[in-house]
Amino acid sequence: MNGVEGFMYPNEVELVWSVLIVLYPYITGLVAGAFILASLERVFRVDAVKPTYRLALLTALSFLLVAPLPLQLHLGHPERSPEMYFTPHSTSAMAMFGYVYLWYLMAVLVFEIWLDYRRDIVLRARRERGLLRLIYKVMTLGSDNISERSLHIDERVGWVVTLIGIPSAFLLHGYVGFIFGSIKANPWWSSPLMPVVFIFSAMVSGIACVMVIYMATSKLRGTTIDMGCVDTIAMYLFYTFIIDFSLEMLDLIHRIYEADESFRSLNFMVHTKLYFSHIVVQIGLGTLTPLVLLAITQVTKLSEMARKRIYALAGALTLIGIFAMRWNVVIGGQLFSKSFLGYTTYKVGMVTREGLPVAIALTLLPLLFLWVLVKLLPPWDDASAAHGATGD
Amino acid sequence: MSAFRDAGHLLRFAGLFVLAFIIFLVVRKFVVPKSFGEYGHYRGAAIGEIAAHPAHFAGHQACEACHADIADEKKGGKHAHVNCEACHGPLGKHADDPASVTPAKLDTAVLCVRCHAASVAKPKNFPQVDAADHANGVPCETCHKPHNPALEAGGAK
């Protein structure tokens, strides 16, 4: 049979979960990671990362809006998805995700962004004309109170929302890991470490994503990159990455030492079918290389230009590496037979609902959403300073 | 009172949530079928609706009532326990009105390989062939009688 080696059960030959299911944990991971970066400033008072606070929130929102789309395209019948809310199934982790998603979207991200931008929204509603004015007016919810006291209340409430948001972000992405980790029939997935690994890899990818977007947008806008800010982000990226890598290695060592009945088959798969995506891309290019690059910036004194280049390269490689990690989890877990005697092949479709063009479009769509959000709610300091009129 | 006034916008946001929740409850009332959850996490009325569907399959007893010769031929052969409609498809309408509804003639070159195409996933003692190599397009019934397929049972050698 085409692409099959050894013995496969008939239902294992075709992969059920495609590249879109790879994208889904990748995107939710970016959401959770970006939010955790934002919380550094808000809750942990890391002032150095302040220039990226709003950008991180908008990035998280842009990616969160796209997060359900891969699932909708994979499952088909999007008109049925509201039924998940109307008839909640409390013992289905996948069904409960709908509520986690909605909670995180509305009670955490949208609320926090609204609180943080409320002053700017009110000022813009006063200043703009036409359709923009109407949009901002709607966003004020009819309240143009931006007195010092009301803004102080926003600040306090925003802090609480961020505090609630941190476990929510962990829940959002921990759930994704939980889904895989709880599939006991699949030894490649079934591990209680899976949710923890997913959370830390999410933080790594989200931090790297915001760092790269911040540097890219600064370059595009022709503004100076705040090196104190990116140095701090890179430091946190480095530390988080070390924890993430340690956890993944712990999982690997545990598997090797335990060497259960699936080990020989999985080991063979990692050295053959998954060699390029797992060993070369995920571990070599996407983990060890950025770790070494970031370590160099931590232990040596490099020029600003060299640091910028290293951060950009390390950030991009990290994003590729985490995508490869998702790929290896989702696709890798479907390439071997439960009999441990055979392997199948996954070929990404082209002109299908779950093909490569769709996957690329879904990867780029959050950037389009981010562009619209940035136009509507500029996250830059100069934008809010430009019309610094005080309220009533 | 001023604290309340300065926090008024928060109440508006909370109001949005309450409004959304009320809309959710109203829509839910209309879209969730009344019998949902009656027996489990599904629409209770679905059971009755499914039961009311007309039967498409007649069952082998109905076939054997008229086609006793075929039933005899099947007896003792490898296909003795394969139901008639497993190959011929649902023939409830034909059983109801044999004169006007006639089953289509089956193409054995396509039909047989549904079960007998070689696959490593099948048990070794299950008869399986690479159709192109084995028959080269010649219909299976040329050599095998579908109702009793062993060659020694009467098929051409």
* Across A17-25, average pLDDT: 95
Contact check, Cβ <8 Å, A150/B6: yes
Q: From the candidates B4, B5, B6, which should be mutated to test the interface with A, based on the most A CB atoms within 10 A?
A: B6
* Across B81-103, average pLDDT: 93
Report the DSSP beta bridge partners of residue B145.
B148
Query: How many angstroms separate the CA of residue B58 from the nearest CA in chain A?
Result: 30
Per residue, the 3-state secondary structure of chain A, as one string, reads: CCCCEECCCHHHCCCCCCHHHHHHHHHHHHHHHHHHHHHHHHCCCCHHHHHHHHHHHHHHHHHHHHCHHHHHHHHCCHHHCCHHHHCCCCCCHHHHHHHHHHHHHHHHHHHHHHHHHHHHHHHHHHHCCHHHHHHHHHHHCCCCCCCHHHHHHHHHHHHHHHHHHHHHHHHHHHHHHHHHHCCCCCCCCCCCCHHHHHHHHHHHHHHHHHHHHHHHHHHHHCCCCCHHHHHHHHHHHHHHHHHHHHHHHHHHHHHHHHCCCCHHHHHHHHHCCCHHHHHHHHHHHHHHHHHHHHHHHHHCCCCHHHHHHHHHHHHHHHHHHHHHHHHHHHCHHHHECCCCCEECCCCCCCCCCCCHHHHHHHHHHHHHHHHHHHHHCCCCHHHHHHCCCCCC
Q: Does B51 touch chain A (CB under 8 A)?
A: no
Contact check, Cβ <8 Å, A86/B120: no
Q: What is the pLDDT of residues A145-178, one digit of tens each?
A: 899 999 999 999 999 999 998 888 888 888 889 9
Q: Does B27 touch chain A (CB under 8 A)?
A: yes
Residue of A nearest to B9 (CA): A143
Answer for the pair A95, A107: CB distance below 8 angstroms, yes or no. no
Q: Does B28 touch chain A (CB under 8 A)?
A: yes
Residues B95 and B112 both lie in one domain? no
Q: Does B19 touch chain A (CB under 8 A)?
A: no
Residues B91 and B110 both lie in one domain? no
Residues B60 and B47 both lie in one domain? no
Cβ-based neighbour number of residue A243 at 10 Å: 15
Of chain A, the percentage scoring pLDDT greater than 90 comes to 80
Cβ-based neighbour number of residue A225 at 10 Å: 18
Answer for the pair A102, A85: CB distance below 8 angstroms, yes or no. yes
Question: How many domains, in total, are found in chain B?
Answer: 3
Residues B115 and B94 both lie in one domain? no
Of A283-292, A378-387, B104-113, the range with the highest mean pLDDT is A283-292
Of B29, B51, B73, the residue that ends a domain is B51
Contact check, Cβ <8 Å, A145/B24: no
Residues B68 and B96 both lie in one domain? yes
Residues B93 and B122 both lie in one domain? no
Contact check, Cβ <8 Å, B9/A87: no
Q: In which residue are the tokens 């959002």 written?
A: A172
Cα(B85)–Cα(B90) distance, integer angstroms: 6
Of B51, B77, B92, the residue that ends a domain is B51
- Per-residue pLDDT band at A382 (split at 50, 70, 90): low
Query: How many angstroms separate the CA of residue B114 from the nearest CA in chain A?
Result: 13
Contact check, Cβ <8 Å, A10/B121: yes
Report in angstroms the alpha-carbon separations of B27 from A79, A269, B33. 14, 49, 12
Strand duo A5-6 + A342-343: pairing:
antiparallel
Query: How many angstroms separate the CA of residue B6 from the nearest CA in chain A?
Result: 5
**Close Cβ partners of B113 (under 8 Å, ≥ 6 residues apart):** B129, B131
Residue of B nearest to A156 (CA): B7
pLDDT the model gives residue A384:
45
Between positions 93 and 152 of B, the ones with CB within 8 A of A are 119-121
pLDDT the model gives residue A337:
94
Cβ-based neighbour number of residue B64 at 10 Å: 15
Range with lowest mean pLDDT among A42-46, A185-189, B28-32: A42-46
Report the DSSP beta bridge partners of residue B36.
B43
Burial (CB < 10 A; 0-12, 13-18, 19+), residue A208, is buried
- Per-residue pLDDT band at A1 (split at 50, 70, 90): low
The residue type of B19 is L
Range with lowest mean pLDDT among A103-107, A175-179, A249-253, A379-383: A379-383
Report residue B129: phi and psi, to 5°.
-140, 155
* pLDDT at residue B153 tops 70: no
Integer-rounded Cα Rg, in Å, for chain B is 30
Q: What is the pLDDT of residues A307-340, one digit of tens each?
A: 999 999 999 999 999 999 999 999 999 999 999 9
* Domain residue limits at B122: 105-157
Answer for the pair A310, A238: CB distance below 8 angstroms, yes or no. no
pLDDT the model gives residue A169:
86
Residues B157 and B122 both lie in one domain? yes
Answer left, alpha or beta for residue A45, where phi above 0 means left and psi between -120 and 50 means alpha.
Answer: left
Contact check, Cβ <8 Å, B9/A10: no
pLDDT the model gives residue A41:
85
ipTM of the complex model: 0.82
Q: Does B29 touch chain A (CB under 8 A)?
A: no
Mean pLDDT taken over chain A:
92
Residues B42 and B73 both lie in one domain? no
Cα(B69)–Cα(B149) distance, integer angstroms: 16
Answer for the pair A266, A209: CB distance below 8 angstroms, yes or no. no
pLDDT the model gives residue A390:
38
Per residue, the 3-state secondary structure of B41-90, as one string, reads: CCECHHHHHHHCCCCCCCCHHHHHHHCHHHHHHHCCCCCCCCCHHHHHCC
Structural domains in chain A plus CATH codes: 5-382 (1.20.1630.10)
Q: What is the pLDDT of residues B16-70, one digit of tens each?
A: 999 999 999 999 999 999 999 999 999 999 999 999 999 899 999 999 999 999 9
Answer for the pair A215, A308: CB distance below 8 angstroms, yes or no. yes
* Across A343-370, average pLDDT: 94
Q: In which residue are the tokens 């996407």 written?
A: A286
The residue type of A317 is L
* pLDDT at residue A389 tops 50: no
Of chain A, the percentage scoring pLDDT greater than 70 comes to 96
- Per-residue pLDDT band at A385 (split at 50, 70, 90): very low
